[in-house]
Amino acid sequence: MPGTHIRPFLPALQRLRCSSAKMPIPPAIFTPDISTPSDSPYPSPLRQTLGQTAQYIRTSTPPPLIAPEPKVPPPTTVVEASKRLAAWTAVDRHVLPEYKVIGIGSGSTVPYVVERIEQQGRERNKDRVFIPTSFQSKELIVSHGLLLGDVDQYPVIDVTIDGADEVDETLNCIKGGGACHLREKVLAEAADTFIVVADYRKDSDVLGKNFKQGVPIEVAQFAYAKVLQNVHLIGSPEARLRMAKAKAGPVVTDNGNFVIDAPFPEEMMREPYTLLTRLKMLTGVVEVGLFCHMAKAAYFGNQDGSVTVKWHDGRIESVDSGSSLVPKPAHKVALQESTVAEP
């Protein structure tokens, strides 16, 4: 009778069939070749089981691990490229080997500042101390392996490089879109040299023309309602308390204060120092995001790969994007008269 030669093995084959449905069995177990006699019209039950097991192994075993191809970073946007170019140019020119105390600002351009400083090398940076203006810049300093300090330990800073929300033609700035302008202003005043870096969108002839959010005003929490009423009367009826986006309630600064955003008409923004003085006189105001007569130079990365450098004395310079960073001839522009002398 066909198949009688394996009948004694049927219980074992049945157990093998059941186990093969639960787990893969290494092929080495089945190396013996057990075939059906040539005169039998039926396939061997053992061969059937082996075939099912082999099929299970083929379909369930994952492919061998292959190292993925390295991902090429996507092309950066024109805006991000211009930020990096402005930051790198400013660092190359102003973070000199002899400078040991360096202020690091806040904003979307500052990561490129820290990136370029790190590229100056461990040997040059080992004796330097870096002072942050915010939690963001503190994290950047630490993550790049640089030595962290604070302004209460180092009240005199060689150079501070910071971003800006908008810069006018005489280098007055609006800062505070990130609610860090109190510490930013402290580090700007503490620095022998204060440099602003930004992309081409931040370059303006008058403050408030491009940055529509308004002048940031940091206020003590308990006094915000009183200050807000004062700001309305001064000339900003649309001034409002800045609300948080990722939580309920207002934005709270690193110093535990609130922020009021106050848009003012153009005629008032053309005299930023006068406006700054009026706002600072309000009781409850901690600091105002108007930086007047503070920057030595502002670096703007452009869409064409060049960098425009505006100096506090009125010079305007264009810098090539090549590695040599060769400056093109500068030209003079007229400075607006100011009632306050440059510090």
Q: Which residues does the annotation mark as catalytic?
A: 184
The secondary structure of 92-146 as a DSSP string is HHHS-TT--EEEE--SSSHHHHHHHHHHT-HHHHTT-EEEESSHHHHHHHHHTTP
State whether the Cα torsion 188-281-203-328 is positive or negative.
negative
- How far is the C-alpha of 269 from the C-alpha of 204, rounded, in Å? 12
Structure tokens at 336: 């607006």
Q: Which amino acid is at 86?
A: A
Phi, psi of 205 (to 5 degrees): -85, -25
- How far is the C-alpha of 74 from the C-alpha of 154, rounded, in Å? 40
Radius of gyration of the chain (CA): 34
Sheet of 173-174, strands arranged across: 166-167, 173-174, 290-291
196 by DSSP, 3-state: which?
Answer: strand
**Hunting for tokens 């392996």 — which residue is that?**
145
